[in-house]
């Protein structure tokens, strides 16, 4: 079974703090994704990565950056957290381009920015 883990289930931070969210997958997947989920807005893609050190902006990259130094690990960074970044953050992985398969999601991190 594919396993995607996220470093924290719940996180509370203050405005202006730098926040790191980490995601690790154990299936040697090529692609990894960061989404945020907000009520009424569904899942919105922040960034994705299709290879080590490669990244692509999603629909809402502003205020976020990412890092993929190793294939199994994809980090989301909030350089200076703001209250409008309070959300559920979901990491996902996928086998890679051309593969008709599902994405596998981690359990999510509920981030609250005060």
Give the residues lining the site for another protein (CB under 8 A).
4, 9, 30-31, 33, 35, 40-45, 48, 50, 56, 90-92, 94-108, 110
* Burial tier of 25 (Cβ tally within 10 Å: 0-12, 13-18, 19+): buried
Least distance to another protein from the beta carbon of 66, Å?
15
CB 83 within 8 A of CB 16: no
Least distance to another protein from the beta carbon of 16, Å?
27
Query: Which among 20, 28, 22 is positioned nearest to 3, based on CA atoms?
Result: 28
Residues making up the chain, counted from first to last: 114
Question: Judged by CB, which is closer to another protein: 62, or 100?
Answer: 100
Question: Judged by CB, which is closer to another protein: 45, or 77?
Answer: 45
Least distance to another protein from the beta carbon of 37, Å?
8
């Amino acid at each position: 079974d594919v396993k995607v883990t996220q470093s924290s289930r719940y996180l509370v931070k203050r405005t202006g703090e730098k926040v790191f969210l980490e995601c690790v997958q154990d299936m040697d997947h090529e692609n990894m994704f960061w989404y945020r989920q907000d009520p009424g807005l569904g899942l919105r893609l922040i960034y994705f990565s299709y290879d080590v050190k490669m990244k692509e902006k999603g629909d809402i990259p502003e205020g976020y950056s990412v890092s993929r130094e190793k294939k199994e690990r994809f980090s989301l960074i909030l350089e200076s957290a703001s209250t409008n970044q309070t959300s559920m953050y979901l990491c996902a992985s996928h086998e890679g381009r051309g593969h008709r398969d599902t994405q596998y999601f981690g359990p999510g991190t509920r981030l609250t920015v005060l």
